[in-house]
Amino acid sequence: MLDCTPKEITERNSGGIINPAKTCQPIGAMYAALGIHKCLPHSHGSQGCCSYHRMHLTRHFRDPVMASTSCFTEGSSVFGGGANLKASIQNVFHIYKPDVMAIHTTCLTETIGDDVSSIIKTADVAEGKLVIHANTPSYVGSHITGFSNMTKAMVSYLAESTSPIKKEQINIIPGFVNPGDMREIKRIVKSMDIEYILFPDTSGVVDTPMTGEFQMYPEGGTTVEQLKDTGNSKVSLALGRFASSDPADLLNKKCKVPVVTLKTPIGIKATDALLMTLRTAFAHEIPKELEVERGQLVDIMTDTHFHFHGKTVAIFGDPDIVTGLTEFVLSLGMIPIHVLTGTPGGSSNSVAGSFEDDINAMLKPTGIQANVKSAGDLFTLHQWMKNQPVDLLIGNTYGKYIARAEDVPFVRVGFPILDRSVHSYLPIVGYHGAMRLVEMISNALLDRQDRDAADEDFELVM
Amino acid sequence: MEMTEKKLQTIFDQYPAKVQKSRKKHIIIKNSELESQEIEANTRTIPGIITNRGCAYAGCKGVVLGPIKDMVHIVHGPIGCGYYAWNTRRNKAKSDDPKHNFINYCISTDMQESDIVFGGEKKLAKVIDEVMEIFDPKCITLSATCPVGLIGDDMGAVAKAAEAKHGIQVLSFSCEGYKGVSQSAGHHIANNILMEKVIGTGDQETAPAKFPINLLGEYNIGGDGWEVERILKKIGYHIVSVMTGDGSYEALKNAHTAELNLVQCHRSINYIAEMLETKYGTPWLKVNFIGIQGTIDSLRNMALYFDDKELTLKTEVVIASELARIEPIFEQYKKICSGKTAFCFVGGSRGHHFQNLFAELGMETLLAGYEFAHRDDYEGRQVIPTIKPDADSKNIPHYVAEVDEKRFRLKVSPEKMLALKARIPLGQYNGIRYDMKDGSIIVDDMNHFETEEFIKLLKPDLFASGIKDKYVIQKMGINSKQIHSYDYSGPYAGFNGAVKFAEDISMGFASPTWNFITPPWKDQPLLEGTVNEEGVA
């Protein structure tokens, strides 16, 4: 497996990538748009992009992923896609009847410079129907940037501040996480008895029940009314700097809603920070229920610490997720020695800080010497692992090739996971999510110990 | 339920006028009383219609080039195009030389904003240098993506310079996603360059063994090609090359030494098949290794072509022994599938081929079609002279091979050729319409709306399609089978494949999970049940 990857690392400075740890913007925008109720995402570009993005999301969620496309031909690529987009808007509302069309762009339409907002203004949009758009050039940032850009579009098109006095409610931008995570975040906020608007929200959209009927627009998704009302909230919580800071900041600029940016609440520290922020912002006590959950998590961490303490780990994936995971494995006593994301740190005009700085700041007090890289690829990660082997690899499905090549236990976390099911329903965030991560990590390590043990060392109780 | 023009009209009526006018030409109801039924195909997709189609890049890099395992395929573009075609299509490959099996790698120039502004040629050249240093391949391909053509990067010049610098072949493919109207343009672009620059460049004059053949348009999804090879080798054929599943650069170079080319997927590879005949005099035979009878017919047609007593005998011996082995198992599955109905909507080839398997399982195909096939795949190659290229496709280069004076050789005499053509599909494909039952529906570029409408009207028991459709269909409580990826199963070709397919389809029908869709409280009144010691009575 991956036999062409040499152990010896030669410097690569072409800017090319071998085995990416990211993909392009529009898929993130499509995913974000699915988090609006009765919305059809629309890809303004040639149709290949749209098919690829739908396929990929479908494979991760094992649920229908609907989106339309402008279907560029060579002619429209040369003369502009205005006619294609107008025809799309007309056909989509006539045939598929969404309430909202959320348009994103591709490298094609960005390169030719289609002015999407002008095209929308001159398009025939029926009364009561909405068209929003985000520019999502594939040659900037990654799918996380695309998610952030479409979430910004929700703010720029919809958020309104209609009263000088803010409501006792909180906006939460969950970042590029699974519907299971979004449900868990909502459960936590609800249990604190706080009014909230979570956006985008794909729970109930890409984790729909089997009923014998296909629903083009499932019950989930943040409603347009809610999106408008985000301008009236007391505070916005951006969970994950890369995916969520920019839209929250835009909302602050547009509607004067102050922002608190936190890590994606993976693990005990980040979840504590989330609860403390909610507690402070609304002067609500943390309910007993959450305190018990936390105590259970600490109990489990204590019970199992010897499974993973001192074990080395390599982590890759999207920056917000990897940051959270790194913090959590540190709190378990593990040693992250390779930490990598494909997303470049701090894209243009973004307030998202440097991934490498974030990770290094966490590692510094521990004295761990680690390879840390943003805008990296899995070829690099694999070479690092050949030179400094690890006890565990954590990342998305693409990691399975490296895990097999190096015979390393592997835990699937992040996006995409294409070769296992159920993952998108269950959280990795919050105390419950942390319990699940502990279970996944210790299972992987103990399964390996069982596999490798001599008969006489094979244990009943571990 | 019988499909009528009237019922079809109820679907069209829901479209805007312009869309209706267009879509009407893409749907026909098979009527054998008519000598021909023209369908519109290979035309531009309607914006906003929710098509299943992909792009020319997917057709070129994803389908034709990607499976060639010992070439390094560099995608020149932003990261998405390379990423999505990375390990997602199940074209299996193995190699005796794992240091030159690049099948699990994804290499991209990862274009950034500065590359769009200042051009990406220098970066591409540097990536090629790195690939040479790290992988040392014998051949590199460069695939263009949407922005490459727009910013005017001259990939051909980069490729030429790299060839001079590194002394290997570097092939450049202008398969920008907006070319043509679908994946189909990409097939053609890939065919042109492979024929012009690779096939026939090997130094072998004759094949090293008897009955040498090429297997064209077989991408070894789930091991299909290996199952076909197993059967062919058992009979005594020598497989020179496979285009391109588990394919290799070295084998492709010597493809000219074959005595016969087999064409499985007509759409994607018929260009090379035609050019091989023009250039080297090698005829091609349309085969179909999907389905038991399709496999048997294909094997017998090959035997007729080679007209060798021993080979013919061995063909029958192998058929008999394979049948004896698989038929009892297949019969078990037939009991589960028989009497059921199916839809079959796939890319450019399987929409036709899999109908054989359905028929053998006692299932009727009510509707079939292709995403991106051309009229000849629907109506048969005899309509090719009447196909007018439209504005969207006429920019696809049409490379015409010339006779290779040194190597051209008629493989069979013109008289024998004529006699053979009367009996077997030599250089001929009859299209999907030929095999479909009267009253069944043929749809080109079927979209999501039509998918839902046809399901409502005809209520099939099974819908064979792709991943984007799969969960839509399943949500409706209908068994759904992917026949692009085979739902990660396979092979489905050949004798073993037929059994595997039958097993998988039966599993889908027999799964207990369908019985749980309706919760018990939805079909039982609230006040009648009583609770006793065993639970709810």
Residue A347 has pLDDT above 50, yes or no: no
Tell me what pLDDT residue B526 has: 85
Catalytic positions of B are: 55, 58, 89, 187
Percentage of chain B beyond pLDDT 90 is 96
Strands B535-536 and B531-532: antiparallel
In a domain, A99, yes or no: yes
Among A455-459, B388-392, B406-410, the least confident range: B388-392
Dist. CA B112–CA A142, nearest whole Å: 11
CB-based contact A12 B130, cutoff 8 Å: yes
Tell me what pLDDT residue B231 has: 98
In a domain, A410, yes or no: yes
Instruction: Tell me which residue has tokens 């040693």.
Output: A335
Instruction: Tell me which residue has tokens 């693990």.
Output: A267
For position B72, which CATH number holds?
3.40.50.1980
B53 neighbors B383 (Cβ within 8 angstroms): no
In a domain, A150, yes or no: no
What was the ipTM of the complex prediction?
0.97
Summarised one tens digit per residue, pLDDT across range A239-293 is 999 999 999 999 999 999 999 999 999 999 999 999 999 999 999 999 999 999 9
Tell me what pLDDT residue B393 has: 87
Six token digits for residue A273:
């920070």
Helices B309-337 and B224-235, interaxial angle, to 10°? 140
Same domain as A299, residue A245: no
Identify from A214, A381, A419 which residue to disrupt to test chain B contact, counting B C-beta atoms within 10 A and taking the largest count.
A214
Same domain as A373, residue A315: yes
In a domain, A364, yes or no: yes
Same domain as A196, residue A90: no
Same domain as A37, residue A135: yes
Same domain as A311, residue A240: no
Six token digits for residue B190:
């890939």
Residue A349 has pLDDT above 70, yes or no: no
Tell me what pLDDT residue B189 has: 98
CB-based contact A213 B476, cutoff 8 Å: yes
Same domain as A346, residue A272: no
In a domain, B61, yes or no: yes
Dist. CA B478–CA A224, nearest whole Å: 33
Instruction: Tell me which residue has tokens 């890409």.
Output: A206
Point out the residue among A4, A12, A23 whose CB comes nearest to the CB of B105: A4
Dist. CA A390–CA A368, nearest whole Å: 14
Identify from B23, B49, B74, B395 which residue to disrupt to test chain A contact, counting A C-beta atoms within 10 A and taking the largest count.
B49
Summarised one tens digit per residue, pLDDT across range A283-314 is 999 999 999 999 999 999 999 999 999 999 99
A270 neighbors A262 (Cβ within 8 angstroms): yes
Point out the residue among B49, B98, B180 whose CB comes nearest to the CB of A91: B49
Summarised one tens digit per residue, pLDDT across range B194-218 is 999 999 999 999 999 999 999 999 9
* DSSP H or E run through A401: helix A399-406
DSSP state of A173: E
Three-class SS state of B344: strand
In a domain, A460, yes or no: no
Three-class SS state of A187: helix
Summarised one tens digit per residue, pLDDT across range A169-219 is 999 999 999 999 999 999 999 999 999 999 999 999 999 999 999 999 999
Residue B178 has pLDDT above 80, yes or no: yes
Summarised one tens digit per residue, pLDDT across range B428-457 is 999 999 999 999 999 999 999 999 999 999
| pLDDT range class, residue B394, cuts 50, 70, 90 | confident
In a domain, B497, yes or no: no
Q: Is the peptide bond before B244 cis (omega within 30 degrees of 0)?
A: yes
Residue B529 has pLDDT above 80, yes or no: no
Number of domains in chain B: 1
**Percentage helix, strand, coil for chain B under 3-state DSSP, each rounded to 5:** 45, 15, 40
DSSP state of B260: E
Dist. CA B435–CA B379, nearest whole Å: 10
**Percentage helix, strand, coil for chain A under 3-state DSSP, each rounded to 5:** 45, 15, 40
Look up the domain containing A45 and give its range: 25-141
Summarised one tens digit per residue, pLDDT across range A356-414 is 999 999 999 999 999 999 999 999 999 999 999 999 999 999 999 999 999 999 999 99
A445 neighbors A390 (Cβ within 8 angstroms): no
| pLDDT range class, residue B524, cuts 50, 70, 90 | confident
Residue A148 has pLDDT above 90, yes or no: yes
For position A354, which CATH number holds?
3.40.50.1980
Q: How far is B77 from chain A (nearest CA, A)?
A: 8
Same domain as A196, residue A113: no
Q: What is the mean pLDDT of the segment spanning A438-455?
A: 98
Q: Who's near A123: CB < 8 A, 6+ residues apart?
A: A85, A86, A89, A90, A131
Decide: pTM greater than 0.95: yes
A72 neighbors A45 (Cβ within 8 angstroms): yes
B342 neighbors B319 (Cβ within 8 angstroms): no
In terms of Cα–Cα distance, which of A55, A113, A75, A84 is closest to B179? A75
Point out the residue among A12, A19, A212 whose CB comes nearest to the CB of B476: A212
Same domain as A118, residue A29: yes
In a domain, A154, yes or no: no
Tell me what pLDDT residue B422 has: 97
Summarised one tens digit per residue, pLDDT across range A23-79 is 999 999 999 999 999 999 999 999 999 999 999 999 999 999 999 999 999 999 989
Enumerate the residues of chain B whose CB falls inside 8 A of the CB of residue A379. Answer: 105
In a domain, B530, yes or no: no
Enumerate the residues of chain A whose CB falls inside 8 A of the CB of residue B83. Answer: 20, 22-24
Six token digits for residue A125:
């949009």
In a domain, A20, yes or no: no
| pLDDT range class, residue A348, cuts 50, 70, 90 | very low
Look up the domain containing B149 and give its range: 57-177
Strands B107-108 and A17-18: antiparallel
Dist. CA A67–CA A85, nearest whole Å: 14
H helices of B380-493, where? 414-423, 432-435, 448-458, 467-475
Same domain as A66, residue A40: yes
In terms of Cα–Cα distance, which of B253, B315, B259 is closest to B284? B259
Strands A312-317 and B284-286: unpaired
Dist. CA B58–CA B53, nearest whole Å: 10
| pLDDT range class, residue B4, cuts 50, 70, 90 | confident
Instruction: Tell me which residue has tokens 């497996």.
Output: A1
Enumerate the residues of chain B whose CB falls inside 8 A of the CB of residue A96. Answer: 48, 50, 448-449
Tell me what pLDDT residue B527 has: 79
| pLDDT range class, residue B537, cuts 50, 70, 90 | low
Q: How far is A420 from chain B (nearest CA, A)?
A: 12
The one-letter amino acid at B361: L
Tell me what pLDDT residue A352 has: 53
Please indicate if any CB of chain A lies within 8 Å of the CB of B472. Answer: yes
Percentage of chain B beyond pLDDT 70 is 98
Identify from B14, B23, B83 which residue to disrupt to test chain A contact, counting A C-beta atoms within 10 A and taking the largest count.
B83
Please indicate if any CB of chain A lies within 8 Å of the CB of B408. Answer: no
Q: What is the mean pLDDT of the segment spanning B65-85?
A: 98
Enumerate the residues of chain B whose CB falls inside 8 A of the CB of residue A15. Answer: 109-110, 112, 115, 123, 126-127
Same domain as A297, residue A262: no
Tell me what pLDDT residue A186 has: 98
Six token digits for residue A131:
């068209």
In a domain, A462, yes or no: no
Same domain as A262, residue A178: yes
Six token digits for residue A176:
């590029």
B149 neighbors B176 (Cβ within 8 angstroms): yes
Summarised one tens digit per residue, pLDDT across range A303-345 is 999 999 999 999 999 999 999 999 999 999 999 999 999 999 7
Same domain as A83, residue A64: yes
Q: What is the mean pLDDT of the segment spanning B252-259?
A: 98
A328 neighbors A267 (Cβ within 8 angstroms): yes
Helices B467-475 and A47-61, interaxial angle, to 10°? 50
Number of domains in chain A: 3
Dist. CA A36–CA A227, nearest whole Å: 9
DSSP state of A210: P
Q: What is the mean pLDDT of the segment spanning A429-451?
A: 98
Work out the mean pLDDT of chain A and round it to a whole number: 96
